[in-house]
Structures are given as C-alpha cells and as structure tokens.
A and B are shown apart, each in its own frame.
Chain A
C-alpha cells in the first residue's frame, strides 16, 4: 500500500481573481473571466476574448514585490506559489526535503517576443538580455530561489496536461520517500505566440466559448498559475497541518493518434481516467464531480465526451468545464483545475459551465449550469489532455 499524499495548501491566480477566495466568489456570482483583451499587445485584440489575469505586469510587480521587467510567468507563478505556501512558513520546512515542480509551455516567451519585435525590425535595436527569460525552466528557478528553497526543482512541459503531470510527479516522489514536501502546479502567461499559434489551428472562439455544447466553436485562451502543497499524511500530522484533501489517483497516457487531435473515441482519455480510478481504488460510481478538460473545441469535447460515456454510462456524475470561466490556461490548466477540485471538496461545491444550450448529438452529456452546494463532494476527477496526445487524469478525494 503506497503512502497517502495530502494537499495542505492551494494557491491560484487566473482571470477569475488573484487568489482562492476571489476565484470562488466569481463562481458564486457566475462571473466569467473571459473578456476582451486588455493587456496583451496583439492585432487580434478586438477579435478574440481571452481569460487574462486582470493586472498589468507593473501591477503584478507591485503586488508581488518583485522587480519590474520580469516575465509575466514569473509574476503569476510566484504569486500563486506564495499563496499555496501561506499556511506554512518556509522556516518550518528546514530539515525537510522540499521540491518545487512547475509546468510551462511558453516560459518567458513574452520577453523573447519583445526582443524579436525590436531586433527583426532593426537588428541594432532590442535588448538581447530579454531572451534570458525564454526557457521554461527560468520562471521555475526564479520562483524556487525567491521562495528560499533548495533541493529538488523541475519543470514539466506536456502541453495542456503539464501541471497535472507536475502534481502526479510530486505525488510519486513523495510516495517513494524521495521528498517530504512538494509545491506542484504550473503557470502560463498569455502571449502573442500562443494566441497566434492557436489561431492558425482555427480553434479559437471569437465569442465566449461554449464547451460541451453542440454548437461549440472553439476555445478561449486564458492565463494564470496554480500550485498545491503536497506531503505524506504523516508529515502533515507532524507539522500539525490539516489536509484539504488527498491526491488519491493519477494516470498519464498517450492517445497516440495525432499531433493535435484526440482519437474520436477518446482512447487516451479513457485509459487515463480508468487507470486513475484504479490507482485510487475507486469505481466510476464513486466520483462526485468531473472537472472536464472541456476546451470547447469540436475535437476535444467529442473525444472526451465519448471517453466519459464509455466509462460512466448510464450514470453520469455532475460535470462541467471551468474553462468556460477561466479560458484555457494551457500549462496552468491542470493546476488551476486541480486547485478548483481541492476547493470543491473543501467547500462542497460543484462548478457549473458558464453557458450550456444543447448537448452534442451523439452524447447525453449535460454539464451543470448553476453552481451546486447541495451535496457533499467526496471524489473529484480532473482531466487534462494536451497536444501530442498527452492525457493525464487526477483524482482528488476528501480526507
């Protein structure tokens, strides 16, 4: 029997708010964070609404107390990691083997863009030092040091399942007794690179996205960061910390179908969910709520829906896609949805879809449309699927 891994702290920043309380408040008032672009410099500003964190880089520098001119990912990551650790001062970690595992797809791409935009126009202009922020490990290292940590640090990049994999890796390192405490999650800032990239795939919705809807048109991009603090149950008891929930199951699979599309029957998603349930020693009927990957693209929602049908039919638990509130935050999405799952258990909440009209023809899946607080939430299944067929499912369980 492997050691039980608990979550003792969470931190989250997204279009819905700067912390956990603001995030829950947005759900309570059914307020979507998807708005016309306010901060990102792009010619598509008025075309694609996005889930931006409602703060400029200067605001974020001030809020975090960090110096100006860092990459946006650093601000977001540090802010969320600090909230996750707010219940546990770093001094209490001395003598413990601590790890920080983050996730990213763009690193400090915003700074690289600045350099390219200047230097490609005039080779003599632009500050090449901007590119020092480029790689995905940079924000992780910066935050690792800023938090005063030493020991184990890592960054995972598996597209949209990145931070789900960060949490999974954390749990495995704890269970194998290689680390005692891990802060795990991920970050992605919205950049021109990603917005334009997704636009070339013609899967970005020009309106508020409508995941799981028959008439869905695509995804909205978002940004943010989220982390959880994980440790073995005994460590939490020794530190006198109460557990918010357990990370009871996880599985990482590959759909192995196409570089940017899931197989229609959702083979990778099906295996990820099935194996995560097995890991948690649970039956489909035990799941209280599914936080779907639910991007709002034709392909994802059909594949994920089919996989859910294969596993849960005919008794579907309540389910929804919170991306209709946050936008798709890419490498951060598994972290954001992991934190939302933990908060769902802690507060007895089931999140709704922002909108929903008609189900997909071949599927019976109808997401919740209003926030629910009428039932205890014991086990939450959180899905994160990405380009390259990377599929990861996590299960969070009440302690």
Chain B
C-alpha cells in the first residue's frame, strides 16, 4: 500500500506537470483539489487517464471523481478495491 501511494504521488506530479511540487510534498491525506494542491476539473480528467494508463482501471463517468480523487489515500483505496473486484 505504501509503495502504491509513493508511486501515485510521483505519477500525479508527472501527469499534471506540477512544477514546484515534489512527490514527497504531498501528504497521504492532503486534499488534492481546491484548498489542498489546488487541482481543478481538468486535472480530474487527467487523473482518470492516469488510472487507466498505469492501473488499467477504466472510470466510465467523471461523477465518481470527487470521491476517488479526494487524496492519495482515497485513490490508493480505490485502486485496491478495483483490484479486489477484478
């Protein structure tokens, strides 16, 4: 799980081209949107692609986004739960 989270942080920084944020700056529970990293709806779409490219998880609607992409923790939990269900 920890390795997954570290990978996620790196992938988020890469995919979103976050220039002055390092993976280690992102806490497991740091909110990714608005008051946290300040990501927006375009980033949410980018992270949907990230999940598909890196983890083979296909989200069919962007409505699940806010819940899944709340933090690195919630993303990791979602990825684990998807693995379990496949």
A–B in direct contact per CB < 8 Å? yes
Q: Are A259 and B42 in contact (CB under 8 A)?
A: yes
Please name 9 pairs of A and B residues whose Cβ atoms are closer than 8 Å in the assembled complex, sorted by A.
Answer: A200-B45, A200-B49, A201-B45, A202-B45, A202-B48, A258-B41, A259-B42, A260-B41, A261-B41
List the B side residues contacting A202 at CB < 8 Å: 45, 48, 61-62
Interface of A with B (CB < 8 Å)? 200-202, 258-261
CA distance A258 to B45 in the complex (A): 15
Chain B contact residue count (CB 8 A cutoff): 8
List the B side residues contacting A200 at CB < 8 Å: 45, 49
List the A side residues contacting B41 at CB < 8 Å: 258, 260-261
List the A side residues contacting B45 at CB < 8 Å: 200-202
Instruction: Tell me the nearest residue of chain A to B40, going by C-beta.
Output: A258
List the A side residues contacting B48 at CB < 8 Å: 202
Instruction: Tell me the nearest residue of chain B to A260, going by C-beta.
Output: B42
* B window 30-46: CB within 8 A of A: 40-42, 45
Main secondary structure of the interface of B (DSSP, over half): helix
List the A side residues contacting B42 at CB < 8 Å: 259-260
Instruction: Tell me the nearest residue of chain B to A203, going by C-beta.
Output: B62
List the A side residues contacting B40 at CB < 8 Å: 258
Minimum CB–CB distance from B31 to chain A (whole Å) comes to: 19
Instruction: Tell me the nearest residue of chain A to B62, going by C-beta.
Output: A202
CA distance A259 to B41 in the complex (A): 10
Please name 10 further chain A to chain B contacts, defined as beta carbons within 8 Å, in addition to the given A259-B42, A260-B41, A260-B42, sorted by A numbering. A200-B45, A200-B49, A201-B45, A202-B45, A202-B48, A202-B61, A202-B62, A258-B40, A258-B41, A261-B41
Give the 6 A-B residue pairs with the shortest CB-CB distance, closest first. A202-B62, A200-B45, A201-B45, A261-B41, A202-B45, A202-B61
Minimum CB–CB distance from B67 to chain A (whole Å) comes to: 16
B41-84 vs A: 1/0 string, CB under 8 Å? Answer: 11001001100000000000110000000000000000000000
CA distance A201 to B46 in the complex (A): 9
CA distance A260 to B61 in the complex (A): 17
Instruction: Tell me the nearest residue of chain A to B41, going by C-beta.
Output: A261
Minimum CB–CB distance from A214 to chain B (whole Å) comes to: 14
CA distance A201 to B62 in the complex (A): 9
List the B side residues contacting A260 at CB < 8 Å: 41-42
CA distance A117 to B62 in the complex (A): 30
Minimum CB–CB distance from B63 to chain A (whole Å) comes to: 9
Instruction: Tell me the nearest residue of chain B to A201, going by C-beta.
Output: B45
CA distance A200 to B48 in the complex (A): 9
CA distance A202 to B47 in the complex (A): 13
List the A side residues contacting B49 at CB < 8 Å: 200
CA distance A201 to B40 in the complex (A): 13
Minimum CB–CB distance from B41 to chain A (whole Å) comes to: 7
Minimum CB–CB distance from A381 to chain B (whole Å) comes to: 29
List the A side residues contacting B61 at CB < 8 Å: 202
CA distance A259 to B49 in the complex (A): 19
CA distance A2 to B42 in the complex (A): 43
Instruction: Tell me the nearest residue of chain A to B65, going by C-beta.
Output: A202
* B window 1-56: CB within 8 A of A: 40-42, 45, 48-49
CA distance A200 to B41 in the complex (A): 12
CA distance A201 to B61 in the complex (A): 10
Instruction: Tell me the nearest residue of chain B to A202, going by C-beta.
Output: B62
